[in-house]
Structure 1
Amino acid sequence: MSEKLRVAVVGAGRWAQRAHIPGWQRDPRVEVVALADTDPAALASAGEKFGVRKLETDYRALLNDPSIDVIDVATGNQAHYEISAAALAADKHVLCEKPVHHDYRETRALSELAKSKGLKTKLGFTFRYAPAVQYAKHLIDSGFVGQPYMFNGYEQNSQWIDPATPMRQVDPDADPDVIATSSIEGYGAPVIDIMHWWSGAELQSVVGTMRNFVPERMVRATGQMQRLNIDDGDMWIGEFANGMLASIQSSYVTVGNFPGIEARVYGSEGAIIVRLVDEFGICQTIKTATRNEVEFVEREIPPEFFPAGGSSQEDWDFLFYSCLCADFATEILSGDAANQGDFAQGALVQETINAYERSFRTRSWVDLPLDAA
């Protein structure tokens, strides 16, 4: 490895340009040395904007470059697994947007492959790396909440409440009579990740349901209105091995700002509410209460949870992804075993989503792990 961590970003679209590329470039220990995208115009535009000279329309051209340490997969969902698997086979560390695969077993297999090769992986669980969420985890580990009793997680926004807002069709060949997972996988995953991380225990059983509140939508590819039988709202309950109860609610047809994550944990000694919503000029807040001081008060997030010069007045995607990229760089450069939010965690989150879907299909409680069930 050279003096700097050398990163190639595969995918040069909107999210790569808003979060991935600037997030990496914020870290002085990192150099973004290459970009790849199948769209030559988008590739050229991103290369010029971020000063990256090595541009490829086929990501495979990057895999045999020994100077590249990390492949960052910021493409559409359908390519995540293929590119991640190829990058690990080529002995590259991998950051991938969620999900790696819709089947948790495939994600778990890649996690095991990476570990067998001594490689680090990371999922794009952007909100895990928000300074407020990291600070909350620090408080939990320090015993602030005591024994955790309840977790409530919300990922809600109004991004597609208007049916005329164009949406990508999940699967053109999908059975129109069978509701497909959408919100819970795309929007619920980040708060499911936080739920597992904060719980300190294994999830044992889940039950819940999905709804298709806005059935007729504008399809991005065709510009036409048509029936999209997808989950645009859902609600779930979970039971943990340590006795904690959890609820998850996700939707992109609920009135309010987005990204719209809120995570709450209540315990025997205290409670924490983290809100990650761009509102009133800031992108995050954390409030706490104790058994003796029951009114929630806002806390200041200590500076050590921010990148140098960072603040809650920044755009949420740039700030949170800067923290994610810096964390991954530290994990790789340190050479130690630390690797939070990795593909194993991604497999756990996907397994939870698969369990939720099975619960909805069977109208029953579903036990985890699914392999045992």
Structure 2
Amino acid sequence: MNHGLKVLISGTGFAGQGHADAFRAAGCDVVGIVGRTPSVVAEVAAKMAIPYSGTDWQAALTDCQPDIVSIATPGGAHYEPIKQAIAFGCHVFCDKPMTHSAETAQELYRLAQQKGIKTAYAASFRYAPSVLHAKELVASGAIGEPTEVECISHFNLEREIPFGWSHRAEQGGGRLNNNFTHTLSIVASVVGEKILRINGEVRDDMGRAPIVEGVHNFATRRNFIPKDLTDPALKWGDSNVEWSYTVMAQMESPFAENPVSVLFKHGGLVPRFREDHIVFYGTKGAIYLRGHYGSGQLSLYGADKQWVDLPLPQHITDAIADVSGETEQCWHYLAREFVRDISGEGVAPYPTFAEGSQYQQIIEIIRSADNWTDLSDLKA
């Protein structure tokens, strides 16, 4: 499979390298990679046999003449590279969050529409095999009309992880940007894409984190946790984003007469006692997915009133890339669909900047919500 499409990557870390592998597997030619640090981008380019490397994105667009750009940096660094790529006429594949704000996400969506380019938004765990299976089961009526969804996860992240983009809203950090985007996309893919109502609360229970030099790859940031947190010479950075959230939503479903109620509950810094999970409840049964993104075993509760573990259908197994890592598998799936669409092949709808823009608006609504009812004067 060789589509003859040239891809330029923005970002040298886990996501940048993962995107490069995904586009190569989809039959594209990865012609260049751009990063912030000359030595790092040169090292990654050499390791991955990418012919062009640099730190100037605009120059790279001119030098590489890509058909597609892949944005794999933190969300706060997305706006300018995407805007420049759209002006250049490139199709854009962008990891979540789309940008750091609803305003900039909406602007980029409009610019892409005006330019007539294709976009992909990689809230991509909707392509986990068990999620794909759940989608087929719900559509087939296996649980009757969907009524309720429950998404529960506890990450128990170390509070000592070095200060960086994940601690700052203006840099695309926060658990809504980097967890909720995936679970919302998963639920939308299974029960229906139209989000009717939203309500929620967030909590920053991080406060601050140690500032450590030399962290270039998000996946290896734990290796830089200081050994002595009481060192008076240690500097600290303040967090300004949520590390826990509770969100309630109502979503329209083509499989149900009434809106589906959804609970998204995530604790970034708290330990789990039972397993993380996603459950789809219906009028005739339920589907239980193990794991915070539902990528584990699928169990069906049906007419016999028993939970039964179901095997993956062979056609879903065949559609999943033979690569290690759930994140990488999902990138491969979406990149393949995106490339096929650009090449004129018929594909099922996939997340685009339309969803990316909507999700960014929803995140800002949740962060600014103040829907508590004061009961301090409630009489007995």
The TM-score by the shorter chain falls in which range? 0.7 to 0.9
Q: Secondary structure at the match of 2:29?
A: strand
Q: Are 2:120 and 1:122 aligned?
A: yes
Return closer, same or farther for 1:156/1:16 CA change in 2, 3 Å cut-off: farther
Structure 2 CA distance for aligned equivalents of residues 201 and 314 of structure 1: 29
TM-score (norm: length of structure 2): 0.80
2-side partners of 1:357 and 1:39: how far apart? 33
Compute the displacement of 1:362 (Å): 5.0
Partner of 1:212: 204
- The correspondence for 1:94, drawn from 92, 95, 98, is 92
Task: Spell out, residue by residue over 1:241-270, the C-alpha distance to the aligned partner (whole angstroms, 9 max, x if none).
Answer: 43211111123212259xx97332111233
Unmatched 5+ stretches in structure 2: 214-232, 253-257, 374-380
1:352 counterpart residue number: 362
Using the TM superposition, give the Cα deviation of residue 63 of structure 1 relative to its aligned residue in structure 2, in angstroms. Answer: 2.4
Instruction: Give the CA deviation at 1:190.
Output: 0.8
Q: Partner of 2:13 in structure 1?
A: 13
The aligned residue for residue 305 of structure 1 is 316
Q: Distance in 1 between matches of 2:151 and 2:326?
A: 19
Counting aligned pairs with the same residue, the percent is 22
Query: Structure 1 residues 192 and 220, CA, compared in 2 at 3 Å: closer, same or farther?
Result: farther
Deviates more, 1:32-41 or 1:331-340: 331-340
Q: What corresponds to 1:262 in structure 2? A: 277
Deviation at 1:126, TM superposition (A): 2.8
Deviation at 1:51, TM superposition (A): 0.9
With over 3 angstroms needed to count, the CA separation of the structure-2 counterparts of 1:300 and 1:330, relative to structure 1, is: farther
Residue matched to 1:294: 305
Match of 1:224 in 2: 235
Cα 1:299–1:310 shift into 2, 3 Å? farther
Matched, 1:252 2:268: yes
3-state DSSP of counterpart to 2:200:
strand
CA distance in 1, matches of 2:46, 2:177: 33
1:71 Cα deviation (Å)?
Answer: 0.3
Q: In structure 2, do the counterparts of structure 1 residues 145 and 354 end up closer, same or farther at CA, with 3 Å as the change threshold? A: farther
Change (3 A) 1:80 1:169: closer
Deviates more, 1:41-50 or 1:222-231: 222-231
1:328 and 2:344 matched? no
Structure 1: gaps spanning 5 or more residues? 175-179, 365-373
Q: 2: distance between equivalents of 1:239 and 1:203?
A: 6
Aligned to 2:161: 165
Structure 2 vs 1, CA of residues 138 and 113 (structure 1 numbering), >3 Å: closer, same or farther? farther
Task: Work out the CA distance in 2 between the residues paired with 1:142 and 1:105.
Answer: 38
**Aligned residues of 1:191 and 1:261 also touching (Cα < 8 A):** no
- The 1:309/1:141 distance shift into structure 2, 3 A limit, reads closer
What is the match of residue 370 of structure 1?
none
Asked whether the equivalents of residues 166 and 223 of structure 1 are also in contact (C-alpha less than 8 Å), the reply is no
Distance 1:97 1:138, change over 3 A: same
Which moved further from structure 2: 139-148 or 88-97? 139-148
Cα RMSD over matched residues? Answer: 3.1
Question: Does the Cα contact within 8 Å between 2:149 and 2:261 map onto a contact in 1?
Answer: yes
